[in-house]
Amino acid sequence: MTLDRKPYNTVMFRLGSVLALLLLACVGLQAQQSGSSLPNAPGPASPLGGPRWATGDCGLSALQVCAWHVLQDEVYIVASPTRAKATDLLWILPFGAATGVALDKDVEVMNDLGSDPQREKDFKRISDYGGIYGPVAYSGVAYAAGVFRHDDHLRETGILTGEAMVDAYILNTGLKYAINRQDPMQGDGTGKFWPHGTKTWPDGQSMPSEHAINVWAFAHVVAGEYPGWATKLVVYSLATTVSASRVIAREHFPSDVIVGSTFGYLIGGFIVHHRAIGSGGLSFSSIQTANGKGMEIAYDFNHFNH
């Protein structure tokens, strides 16, 4: 399939507008959340239960606990539609509408965007580093630095970003094979779903976008752990850039990144509210005192402003 190179000012404006609205919506949802990001998500005190070996904190010395947490997460995430409430329509309906419009305009947007091999290579590199390599590296460095500096908050951020990205990867992999959509460079470039039935399955893995779901899950966790406006601006701008880059690189259609971005954001919120110790403004950390080790309890009175 060969496409002529075309001006893309118009399509960039459209894509930028949609992603900017998505960014603003997510920042707004972040500020309004008082519970879970998935319907009826459990709080830190309501796990699935489990064997004795799965108790305690996740970490390099307790990988079995990390694995159990991921299993718990996936059970709740997959089953969350069965616990949907009427209030969830406030985000489900806009999400459905945005996805429907994007599906209708996918081919038109990609045709307007045209093809430029060098541009596609550049934006693919941006999305790879911003959507996969960077977040994964941050997770590992944050965990190691937290352990070295005895900074429980930073250590927790490293663990939770990693957990969110693993959850996102597992869910995304299942959805890709179930949806079986061709990407813009496959077939006739129209993003067909199950183009040959089950005969040649899998034919494509375009929806959802793996980079988008990964970076938005990562961004929401970091924004939840460090809820200042500057942090939100940085991480959500990164996520928006990655999402746009996947389309400009012709790796995905706009609807693919909308679905991936939304699911990633929800997964990140679920992890923050389900796993973070200080997610309600109350935090605990161990300290060294003159009389030995102790426990510090702190409350962030600015929590309500976040």
**pLDDT confidence band for 50 (50 / 70 / 90):** low
Residue 15: closest CA among 222, 179, 212: 212
Statement: residue 302 has pLDDT above 80: no
* Residue predicted with more confidence, 18 or 127: 127
Structural domain range at position 231: 105-280
pTM: 0.76
Does residue 207 lie in a domain region?
yes
Q: Is residue 134 part of a domain?
A: yes
Establish if 111 belongs to a structural domain.
yes
Predicted local distance difference test score (pLDDT) of residue 9: 47
What's the pLDDT at 14?
A: 53
In a domain, 297, yes or no: no
pLDDT of residue 293: 54
**What string of DSSP letters covers the chain?**
--------HHHHHHHHHHHHHHHHHHHHHHHH-SS-SSTT---TT------GGG-S--BTTBHHHHHHHHHHHHHHHHHGGGG--GGGHHHHHHHHHHHHHHHHHHHHHHHHH---HHHHHHHHHHHHIIIIIHHHHHHHHHHHHHHHHT-HHHHHHHHHHHHHHHHHHHHHHHHHHHH-B--TTSTTSS--BSTTTTTT------SS-HHHHHHHHHHHHHHHHS-SHHHHHHHHHHHHHHHHHHHHTTSS-HHHHHHHHHHHHHHHHHHHHHH-TTTTSEEEEEEEETTEEEEEEEE-GGGGG-
Cα distance between residue 31 and residue 178, in whole Å: 33
Q: Is residue 127 part of a domain?
A: yes
Q: What percent of the chain has pLDDT over 90?
A: 47
pLDDT (tens digit, 9 = 90+) per residue, 222-281? 999 998 899 999 999 999 999 999 999 999 999 999 999 999 999 999 999 888 775 444
What CATH number is given to the structural domain containing 253? Answer: 1.20.144
- The number of distinct structural domains making up the chain is 1
Question: Which pLDDT band, with edges at 50, 70 and 90, does 7 fall under?
Answer: very low
Mean pLDDT along residues 198-220: 93
**Residues of the chain above pLDDT 70, percent:** 72
Write down the mean pLDDT value for the chain: 79
User: Would residue 199 count as lying in a domain?
Assistant: yes
Using the predicted structure, report yes or no on whether residue 300 has a pLDDT greater than 70.
Answer: no
Q: Distance between CA 231 and CA 236 in Å, rounded? A: 8
- Is 16 part of a structural domain of the chain? no
Asked if the structure places residue 217 within a domain, the reply is yes
Cα 306 from Cα 152, distance rounded (Å): 21
* pLDDT at position 170 over 60: yes
**202 prior amide bond cis, ω within 30:** yes
